[in-house]
Chain A
Amino acid sequence: MIRFAHASKRYPPGMDALSDVSFDVAAGELVAVGGHSGAGKSTLLKLIAAIERPTGGAVLVQGQNIGSLKRNAIPYLRRNLGVVFQDQKLLFDRNAFENVMLPLTISGFPPHEAKRRAQAALDKVGLLARMKAMPIMLSGGEQQRLAIARAVVSRPSLLLADEPTAHLDAETAADVARIFLDFQAVGVTVLIATYDTNLFPRARRLVLDHGRLK
């Protein structure tokens, strides 16, 4: 599903975010990427989502080489991924339901089917009753769950999450972690960058230290 082969990412003017990182993730695996802040976890996720391109080595996602991917092919790669961003990136000018609809509108889903799917995704994270609520009205945990609903609404085979439990209290964090486990249970490959790998006891752990795998 994912293969890093001696992958590096250097930001100008010479800061190495990732150095010589190699690992494989098989389909259906649950992987927790740990490490201190600034160890390169976010960069690793950005390489998978083709938000950044590697400056050395190769990154393959679903058989596609991120380094040589054409610009106009990137949207189609991203449609097969679900990403929960560190800053969530919810749109505050539209309600929960409309936030979840966005990925389906983008990929051109038939409206009727899209509506059904969006409601199913909201139901899955326990927000169906709040679908008309604006994000600002939601609690931190609810906002995080909304971000997850948006990430999974297109039923991607690969789900990426960047610090999905940061800023949440222990109980809410455990709730959110459980949602990811549920997705892995139905066959989704899940890769989570987290400072607290203990939240995912059954996950395979990768630990980054100053851009290198330990």
Chain B
Amino acid sequence: MSVWLPQHVDAFRTAMRRLLASPVNTLLSLLAIGVALALPAGGQMLVNNALQLARNSAPTPQISLFMKLDAAGSASEDIETRLQHHPDVKVARFIPREETLARMKTREGLADVIEALPKNPFPDAFVVLPVDDRPEAMERLADDLRTLPGVAQVQLDSDWARRLEALLKIGRTGVLLLALLLGVGLVAITFNTIRLQVMTRRAEIELSRLLGATDAFIRRPFTYFGIMLGLAGGVTAWLIVAAATWWLGAPIAEFAKLYSIDFTLHPLSALDSTLLLIVAAVLGWLGASLSLRQHLGDN
């Protein structure tokens, strides 16, 4: 029968016993690792939520074109023809001022105000979908449209969303940087924990060698210890992020309702959660391996 599996099971049990043998130390290590990992994990969660908000708010980038209020109806017809023949315009939809007025009247609270106005305050407008929706191309098209006669204002509707998205990409890089730094911290924590473990088990290690233990046999429980510490730290981090999400959920929902934004705070995705746990375990393993190489020596 192969001795491989029982030996691993044994090493796993030994590591588990050592983790449980000093609950206070284990708990402190777990908290340290958990908090260290919760920061980038929580950051990732927030950035993802914000990205989703940005994308939902601006499904397709479009340009709004407003005519001058005093422009004649023929001017709008002229612009419509020009837009339809413009090579950079995919679709142009005309929104007559009367339609806008009718739509605004249906709005709660606005109806009375509009009713009181002597004349229609809204201009004719066009919604333009560009062929090329890259920011530079859209900027160029908008500049071009501004030169058309009778046009009062040209607005890139998706501008703020794109800026937000760009900002969030910086945020994502920040999260990655934070994850790298705190990952190094996690390795340092496991490194030191394993160092202390090796020191307190000097006698056992020395004796095991004298009784014919291979290097692998001696390393195994420590390696498992590192992996388990990392993994449990990952679970702690996940719990911290989940608790924060739950805690922030209600106030954010209320805030979103006030601004009529359809938004709920989503917890870490299954993929991100899995990634978090894998990274935590790998970092624990790395810290343990480096520590063993340093402290177990070659004899």
A residues at B contact (CB < 8 Å): 49, 51, 71-72, 74-79, 83, 85, 89, 91, 102-103, 105-111, 150
**A83, B204: Cβ atoms under 8 Å?**
no
| Cβ–Cβ < 8 Å partners of B208 in chain A | 102, 106
Pick the contact of A75: B10, B206, B212 (CB < 8 A).
Answer: B212
**Which residues of chain B from 192 to 214 have any CB-CB distance to chain A below 8 Å in the complex?**
203-204, 206-214
Name B1-31 residues within 8 Å CB distance of A. Answer: 1, 3, 6-7, 10
B212: chain A residues within 8 A (beta carbon): 74-79, 103, 106-107
* Nearest B-chain residue to A46, judged by Cβ: B210
Q: Distance (Å) between the CB of B128 and the closest chain A CB?
A: 74
B contact set with A: CB distance below 8 Å? 1, 3, 6-7, 10, 203-204, 206-215, 217, 298
Task: State in angstroms the CA–CA spacing of A61 and B289 once bound together.
Answer: 34
Cα–Cα distance between A108 and B1 once the two chains are bound (Å) = 10
- Docked-complex contact A49 and B210, CB < 8 angstroms: yes
> Which single residue of chain A is at the shortest CB-CB distance from B2?
A108
- List the 10 shortest-distance A-B pairs measured between CB atoms, nearest first: A108-B3, A78-B212, A79-B212, A75-B212, A106-B213, A103-B211, A75-B214, A89-B207, A106-B211, A108-B7
Q: Find out whether the CB atom of A78 lies under 8 angstroms from the CB atom of B6.
A: no
Q: Across the interface, which residues of B come within 8 angstroms of A77, CB to CB?
A: 212
Taking the closest CB of chain A, its distance from the CB of B87, in whole angstroms, is 74
Tell me the minimal C-beta distance from A66 to chain B in angstroms.
15
Residues of B contacting A103 in the complex (Cβ-Cβ under 8 angstroms):
211-212
Question: Contacts A105-B10, A108-B3, A111-B6: A89 and B203 contacting too (C-beta < 8 A)?
Answer: yes
The CA-CA distance from A89 to B6 in the complex, in Å, is 26
B213–A75 CB distance below 8 A: yes
Chain A residues within 8 Å of B7, by CB: 108
Q: Is the CB of B217 within 8 A of A106?
A: yes
Are A91 and B204 in contact, CB atoms less than 8 angstroms apart? yes
How far does the Cβ of B240 sit from chain A's closest Cβ, in whole Å? 34
Nearest A residue to B215, CB-CB = A72
What residue in chain A is nearest B1 (Cβ atoms)?
A110
Min Cβ gap A144→B in Å is: 16
* B211 with A102: CB separation less than 8 A: yes
Question: Given A91-B204, A106-B217, is A83 in contact with B1 using a C-beta cutoff of 8 Å?
Answer: no
- Closest A residue to B206 by CB, please name it: A89
Residues of A within 8 A of B213 (CB): 75, 106
Q: Which residue of B lies closest to A153 (CB)?
A: B211
Which one of B6, B203, B208, B210 has the highest number of Cβ atoms from chain A below 10 Å of its Cβ?
Answer: B210
User: A74 to B213, alpha carbons, bound, how many Å?
Assistant: 9
How many angstroms from the CA of A105 to the CA of B7 in the assembled complex?
A: 8
Nearest CB in chain A: distance from B280 CB, A? 29
